[in-house]
A and B are shown apart, each in its own frame.
Chain A
Amino acid sequence: AQSVTQLGSHVSVSEGALVLLRCNYSSSVPPYLFWYVQYPNQGLQLLLKYTTGATLVKGINGFEAEFKKSETSFHLTKPSAHMSDAAEYFCAVSKTGTASKLTFGTGTRLQVTL
């Protein structure tokens, strides 16, 4: 079975500072990994995903994540936070080669301050 652990339910950064949201996964087979963002009263929107190939994945809104198999991690980063980045972020995992069945983490709420 796959699982995801997101370290830190709340993260606060200053505008312009580095954003780092942590995600560790557990999977008995090579995983596919995803980051979604959820703005208040909206559905989830895909930021980026790792399936195969390059381990550094670039997504929308300047976010990127790196798949590190040795560390079972898929941390999300953005060099410079913007006020509009304030939202809930979810890491998710699915099993390679199976039909879509995402297992989500509990989420990290990002707060951006002036």
Chain B
Amino acid sequence: EAGVVQSPRYKIIEKKQPVAFWCNPISGHNTLYWYRQNLGQGPELLIRYENEEAVDDSQLPKDRFSAERLKGVDSTLKIQPAELGDSAVYLCASSFDRRTTDTQYFGPGTRLTVL
């Protein structure tokens, strides 16, 4: 069974440019998460989807970040415009449903460098 797929794996852009990350969760997983992991830190939740609905986006910087999950499967996270402080690894995870006991499966992440 394929795991969580993310692309691209690496992205280097200049500040003020837009950037987008794509995530394909494990088949059948209804809940999808986007995390940001700064260097030397643990992941921090940005947004959580249950099917197509964003049910927790309290940590998403809405002035520059946006996300969507069309048809409740793939998801895209966008930053526009990017700032130097956005350099981080962006992780996507999925779980079967939203119960806390359900294991979250993580993708390999996209490492973003903003110059």
Contact = CB atoms under 8 A, between A and B. Distances in A.
A104 B44 contact: yes
Interface string B103-115: 1111111000000
Interface string B17-58: 000000000000001010000001111110010100001100
A7 to B, nearest CB: 14
Contact of B91 (A44, A97, A106): A44
Contact of B108 (A41, A92, A106): A41
Interface stretch (B60-68, B69-77, B80-88, B94-102): B94-102
B42 A105 contact: yes
Given A41-B108, A45-B106, A49-B103, A104 B42 contact: yes
Contacts of B79: none
B108 A43 contact: yes
The size class of the interface chain A forms with chain B is 20 to 34
Given A43-B106, A43-B107, A44-B106, A100 B100 contact: yes
B29 to A, nearest CB: 12
Given A43-B109, A99-B99, A100-B95, A107 B104 contact: no
Nearest to B41: A106
A45 B109 CA distance: 12
A90 B100 contact: no
Interface of A: 4, 9, 32, 36, 41-46, 49, 51, 90, 92, 94-102, 104-107
Interface of B: 3-4, 9, 31, 33, 40-45, 48, 50, 55-56, 91, 93, 95, 98-109
